[in-house]
Amino acid sequence: MIPLTLRPLLHNAAAPPLALRGALRLAAVMRLHLTYGQKLFLLASVPLIVAAAAIALLVAAQSRDLAEREIRQLETQLIEAKKRELRNYVTQARNGFYFIYGSAAPDDEAAKQQVMQILAAMIYGEEGFFFVYDYDGTNLVSPRQTDIINTDMWDHVDGDGTPVVQDFISTARQGAGYVTHLWPKPSTGVEARMITYVTSFPSWRWAVGTGVFIDDILASVANTRAEVEARVRRTFLYIGGITLAALLSVFASGLFINIRERRLADAKLKQLTQRVFDAQEEERGRVARELHDGISQILVGVKYALDVTRRRITTGDARASDTLDKGIGNLGLAIQEVRRISRDLRPGVLDDLGLGPAIKSLTDDFRTRTGIDAQFETVVFRNRLDQDAKIALYRIAQEALTNVERHSSATEVRLDLRGHRAGATLRVTDNGTGLGERRNTQGIGLKNMQERMDQLGGTLRVLSSKTGTVIEATVPLTHLLPPEPGAAQMKALP
C-alpha cells in the first residue's frame, strides 16, 4: 500500500500557550523593583503558572498523539474498505467478460471491441467508471471522459507531478495493484485524491482498472483533526481558567493575610507606642518622686539650716557655724543624689570607661542600696563593643536588677559579662522566686529587653524556676569592634 499524503493540522502547536506567555510576562516583571508582598505573591504564583503550563503542554501532546493514532487507524480502515470495494468491482467485471478474453487470440480485434464495449457500459455511482490503456499509454476506454479516448496519455501527470498513466501500466505489468493519485472528478473537472485498482490483460497488453475518489475520507479526517485541535484549545482554556482561579485565590488569600498582618502590625505598633509612652511616664514619675522625696526634702533642709544660720548670725549666736555645717552637709547629699539620678538616666562611666566598669558600678550601688549580695564578673575583651551594644546590655542589666529588687525576694544575684567567638553575652542569675507569680508584673521589662536584642539582631533567653531566674542576653559578633592601637594593653574591660 502506498501511504496517503495528508497535511497534519498541528500548526497551533508552535504557538506558546496562554499560561506560558503569562509566565514569561511575570518573569519580565520580576526584573522590576518589587515590594516584599509582591515578591511573596510571585513566589507563590510563578511555580503554579509553570506547573500549569507544563501540565497543559503534556496534556496537549498526549491528546494529539492519541488522537493522531486513532485518526490514522480510522483512515486506514476506511481506505482498506475502499480498496476491497475496488477489487470486488474489478473481479466482477473480469468475471463478466473473461470467457471472451480467455478464448480470444492476441490479435482478435472483434473480441477486443466487445470487451471495450462491456467496460464502457460499466458505470456505477456518480463518479465510478472503468478505463483501459494499452502498454504504450493510449487510452482505449474512458466512458466519463470520452475526449481522451484514443489519446496518447503516456506523459500525463497530476497536480502532484505523479506520472499517473505510467504508474497504471507499471502496476499492470507487475500483475495488479493500487495507485494513489490525483484525477479530475467527472462531475466538477477539479482534481481530487483517488485510489485506483489496476489489473492486466497481458495477452492484449492492456491495463484495466477502476478507481474511487477519497476526498470524503480526507474531509472526514480533516474534520476529525480540527475537532482534536478544538478540544486541545478548550483544554488549554480550561487549564488557563483553573490557573487563573488559583492565582486569584492566592492573590485574595495574600491580600487578606496582608491586610490582617497590617492590622496586627498596626495594633502591635500602637501597643509599642503606648508602652513607650508608659515607660516615659513611668521614668518621669520615678524621677519626679526621687526629686520630690530626695532632693526636694534635702534642699528644704538646706534652706531651713541657712535660715537658722542667718538668724543666729544676726543675734550673734555661737551655734551659727553648727547649723551652717549641717546645711553644707545636706547640700553635699543633694549633689550626690543629683549625680545618682543622672547616672541612672545616662551613666557617664559607660562612655568614659566602658561597659564593664559601668555594670560594676551599677552592681556596687545596687548592693549598697538594697543589701542584696550582688557580684559582677567579667573577662578581658580583645575587641570593644559598639555604642548600641553597650547601651543595650547596660539597660538589660539595670532592668534585671530592678526586677530582682522589686519582685524576686532574692538574697543573691550574679552578673557575668564575657566575650566569645559568637559575640558577647551578659548573664544575670538570682536565687529568687522565679517568674511564675511575677511574670505579669514585669512583662514590660522583659519586652523591653527583647526589643533591645531584636534591634541588635541578638538573642534573649529567660530561664525561670522556683529556685531562681537566669536572664542571658547575647549580641552578635557584628557589634564587636576591632581594638584601637594599644588599647589591649591599656584596657582590661570593654
Q: Which of 213, 237, 259 is the last residue of a domain?
A: 213
- Contact in structure between 143 and 121 (CB atoms under 8 Å): yes
Kindly indicate the confidence band of residue 85, based on its pLDDT and cuts at 50, 70 and 90.
Answer: confident
Rounded Cα distance between 460 and 462, Å, is: 7
Nearest C-alpha neighbor of 149 from the set 129, 167, 163: 129
Question: In the predicted model, is pLDDT for residue 22 greater than 70?
Answer: no
- Contact in structure between 288 and 295 (CB atoms under 8 Å): no
Residue 44 maps to a domain: no
Quote the pLDDT of residue 83: 83
* ∠ Cα 15 18 19 (to 5°): 120
What is the tally of helices (H) and strands (E) in the chain?
12, 12
Q: How far is CA 424 from the centre of its chain?
A: 39
Which DSSP helix (H) or strand (E) runs through 206? strand 206-213
- CB count, 10 Å around CB of 199? 20
Residue 286 maps to a domain: no
Residue 25: CB partners within 8 Å, gap ≥ 6?
none
- Contact in structure between 160 and 171 (CB atoms under 8 Å): no
CATH of the domain at 355: 3.30.565.10
Task: Please state the length of the chain.
Answer: 494
SS3 416: strand
Residue 152 maps to a domain: yes
Calculate mean pLDDT across residues 455-483.
Answer: 85
SS3 205: coil
Kindly indicate the confidence band of residue 33, based on its pLDDT and cuts at 50, 70 and 90.
Answer: low
Q: Which of 160, 195, 213 is the last residue of a domain?
A: 213
Kindly indicate the confidence band of residue 151, based on its pLDDT and cuts at 50, 70 and 90.
Answer: very high
Q: Give pTM, 2 decimals.
A: 0.43
CATH of the domain at 140: 3.30.450.20
- Contact in structure between 216 and 193 (CB atoms under 8 Å): no
β-sheet bridge partners, residue 111: none
Residue 220 maps to a domain: no
Residue 155 maps to a domain: yes
Q: For the chain, what is the domain count?
A: 2
Residue 465: CB partners within 8 Å, gap ≥ 6?
434
Kindly indicate the confidence band of residue 150, based on its pLDDT and cuts at 50, 70 and 90.
Answer: very high
Q: What are phi and psi of 47, to 5 degrees?
A: -60, -35
Range of the domain at 175: 105-213
Q: What is the pLDDT of residues 347-404, one digit of tens each?
A: 666 777 788 888 888 898 889 888 899 999 987 655 578 888 888 898 899 889 988 8
Residue 469 maps to a domain: yes
Q: What is the pLDDT of residues 299-324, one digit of tens each?
A: 888 888 888 888 888 888 778 788 88
Kindly indicate the confidence band of residue 25, based on its pLDDT and cuts at 50, 70 and 90.
Answer: low
Kindly indicate the confidence band of residue 16, based on its pLDDT and cuts at 50, 70 and 90.
Answer: very low
Residue 6 maps to a domain: no
Quote the pLDDT of residue 51: 80
Quote the pLDDT of residue 8: 38
Q: Which of 197, 213, 229 is the last residue of a domain?
A: 213
- Contact in structure between 306 and 312 (CB atoms under 8 Å): no
Kindly indicate the confidence band of residue 470, based on its pLDDT and cuts at 50, 70 and 90.
Answer: very high
Residue 329 maps to a domain: no
